[in-house]
Structure 1
């Protein structure tokens, strides 16, 4: 059995490296991705499409990471800071002009058999909008 903390750390290491394939390798085939704004995306294929969109519009790395794991390894949470640059205008949001932002955020996970089966991401969208609207 894969250690839940190692799986979550690998997922975030891959994110910071910009390695979508390595992120996808941490996910179950039927992963449920609950984004901060929008519909739940189900499956690795839809998660990969989301990652491609995010890579096009944003350049982000995560810092100040704290990972917490339940005793049975089936659930985890992480708190971190998103350090980003807004690269390309995202639909319905402010115009991208290369603005930078620093945003507290968190993720919640369910895990089974060494794979992430659920990802929930939270950040304060109003805070992000205020930062990129300056």
Structure 2
């Protein structure tokens, strides 16, 4: 896949994220999507990813800003750096109590792309930074 198409695919994925459009996000993914979050479970498949999106939509309201997206020349891999602007809506088990706290958190994502779709997403953020912000 050409680099420009990979950049557009990742942009479309994040545009859907910012719009709260889980179906649009799922449309960007392979059926066997591998989803890794640095502080969470490893998931395989669209059904597991959809469950994750549903949970996140209840517990958090987030918008990603200051997005910068990179891709390899062959378009097989990509990365994005952004800042999460969020509100903690409902307590996530094992985390501090939610009281509508807001947070601003630098984060990033790494992608594999296969056959015009995202086949792996790995997301990184600093959980201790987030906990400090919502506990303040």
- Report the TM-score, using the length of structure 2 for normalisation: 0.97
Q: 1: CA distance between counterparts of 2:48 and 2:129? A: 27
Q: Does 1:113 align with 2:115?
A: yes
Cα displacement string for residues 6-36 of structure 1 (whole angstroms, at most 9, x for unaligned residues) = 1000000000000000000000000000012
Q: 1: CA distance between counterparts of 2:8 and 2:60? A: 26
Partner of 2:18: 16
Unpaired stretches in structure 2, ≥5 consecutive residues: none
1:91 pairs with 90, 93, 96, which one? 93
State the secondary structure of the residue aligned to 2:65.
Answer: strand
State the secondary structure of the residue aligned to 1:89.
Answer: coil
State the secondary structure of the residue aligned to 1:48.
Answer: helix
Count matched residues: 134
Partner of 2:64: 62
Unpaired stretches in structure 1, ≥5 consecutive residues: none
Aligned-pair CA distance for 1:40: 1.0
Aligned-pair CA distance for 1:110: 0.1
Q: Does 1:103 align with 2:100?
A: no
Aligned-pair CA distance for 1:39: 2.4
Q: 1: CA distance between counterparts of 2:89 and 2:78? A: 30
Q: 2: CA distance between counterparts of 1:131 and 1:36? A: 18
Cα displacement string for residues 86-118 of structure 1 (whole angstroms, at most 9, x for unaligned residues) = 000000000000000000000000001110000
Q: 1: CA distance between counterparts of 2:40 and 2:21? A: 24
State the secondary structure of the residue aligned to 1:64.
Answer: strand
Aligned-pair CA distance for 1:38: 2.4
- Report the TM-score, using the length of structure 1 for normalisation: 0.98
Runs of 4+ in 1 over 3 A off after TM superposition: none
